Amino acid sequence: MTEQNQAEKPPLSEPNFEFVFEIRATCTREVHIGRGPDEVLSLTPIVGGAVAGPRLNGTVLPGGGDWAVERSGTAQLEARYVIAADDGAAIEVLNRGYFRATPDVIARMESGEHVSEDDPDMYFRTAPVFQTDAPAHRWLAENQFVGKARDEDGQVCIRVFRVL
């Protein structure tokens, strides 16, 4: 590419984010499913929870689950569950992401310490996708979202941001 063509390209802009709500999913004990070479498969049942924020409030319904495949210290996550909005609408959530942390951070979490989602020794990020036919919540099915997650008081807490 010539210098002239490069100069004609507009500069790439950084994305902006809007905080929309926090999901606090209550989970039960992890179920170990299997182990392969350099990987562990598990399921963590989701039994309830709450959603609160400026754009959505509601309840996490029991019956969902978070599947994890851990390879080389990084867990690839896929959670599926349903939110019942305060207005009665049902919203399906498919939330994929990654978790990894140093042994020190994991020990702190297991001892009950709250570890911030911004801790440099932990990476816990998600990309939730929502589906609903409720007109008031259609915006959820028409936008891209990212989440910053943490464990807190026996719940997985995900601050959800809409990518603008």
State how far the alpha carbon of 60 is from the alpha carbons of 54, 111, 146, 147, in Å.
17, 26, 18, 16
Alpha helices in the chain (DSSP H): 3-8, 103-110
CB 122 within 8 A of CB 74: no
The architecture in CATH of the region 14-163 reads Beta Barrel (2.40)
Residues in the chain, pLDDT under 70: 1-7
What pLDDT does residue 46 have?
A: 98
* Alpha carbon 32 to chain centroid, angstroms: 21
What pLDDT does residue 35 have?
A: 82
Domain edges within the chain: 14-163
pTM value?
A: 0.89
